[in-house]
Amino acid sequence: MAPQTSVVVGYDGTDESDHALRWAVEEARMRQRDLVICHSWRWPYPITHVDLDLEETVKRMGRHVLERGVSRARDLTRSVRIRPKLMDGPAYAALLHESYDAEVLVVGSHEQEELAIGSTALQLPARAQQPVMVVRPSDHHERVVVGVDGSAGGDAALAFGFQEAALRGWRLEAVYGCWEPGAVAGTDLALFADRDELTRSCGALLERVVSPWRTKYPRVQADTSLVLEGPRTALLEAAERADLVVVGDRGTGSVGPLLLGATSTAMLQHAPCAVAVAHATTGG
């Protein structure tokens, strides 16, 4: 028997994690899944420093933070089963361990200029195989924007984006920023000298990859936008009118060893709304 999937959220008592908790409660309610609230406490001293009483105090403080998160979640919903999980070590590693039975992972994010390379909001989307949602507060537009480029990652983003739009009753906009050689797989560079032909070719690809999802989710109002800009510029502009931007882990132009493509990383760093990273192995 397959394990019951869940929505997993990281909670550390900050305002950022409170936004993530609210989003995760709604995800669990809509998906009819358990909500697993995770808090990871860390030993603040060198590993050689042994003090069992102090360790128990630190752990107890972590338990109090977790209990506060559970209480907040129960104030928001009575229809979702909540499971608290106290862990230790780096938050992203602990959440990664919990991700294997998860349907979606949700974490908060600091303001973009404070988002460090080693932060959970960057590390977890790069390493998890399940969709990761990085939440930050934004204006309410009731719109999902999905980055499209014809890659396997782009198709996974469409799958997750249409699912979210259907669950929430939001509109969806599929955006293809094609004015960059790496964003157009297998294309002769000479095509970029003919804007009309580039528009025709990329527009046909955009409609072709979106069409199956329109059929699968006929109630989702889905628009397409072909933008003669680079994918990062096109998506950041579209994000200004979105509640959620969904991207694949890697697009057509990604370098092999990278865990996340440049566009996905840019969205996590700079998008003014929540960002979801979907992985090609999870699309469908």
pTM of the model: 0.87
The reported pLDDT for the residue numbered 196 is: 87
Q: What is the pLDDT of residue 42?
A: 77
Give the pLDDT score at 41: 84
Residue with tokens 């808090």: 39
Instruction: Say how far residue 278 (Cα) sits from the centre of its chain.
Output: 7
Closest CA relative to residue 227, chosen from 247, 244, 202: 202
- pLDDT number for residue 117: 57
Specify the pLDDT at position 92. 84
Rounded Cα distance, 75 and 167, in Å: 22
Fold of the CATH domain 6-135: Rossmann fold (3.40.50)
Residue spans in the chain of domains classed CATH 3.40.50.12370: 143-282
C-alpha–C-alpha distance, residues 126 and 87, integer Å: 21
Q: Which residues of the chain have pLDDT under 70?
A: 1-4, 43-50, 110-118, 180-193, 250-259, 281-284
pLDDT of the residue at 70: 97
Look at residue 282 in the predicted model and tell me its pLDDT: 47
Pinpoint the residues of the chain covered by CATH 3.40.50.620.
6-135
Q: What is the CATH number of domain 143-282?
A: 3.40.50.12370
pLDDT at residue number 99: 84
Q: What is the pLDDT of residue 159?
A: 97
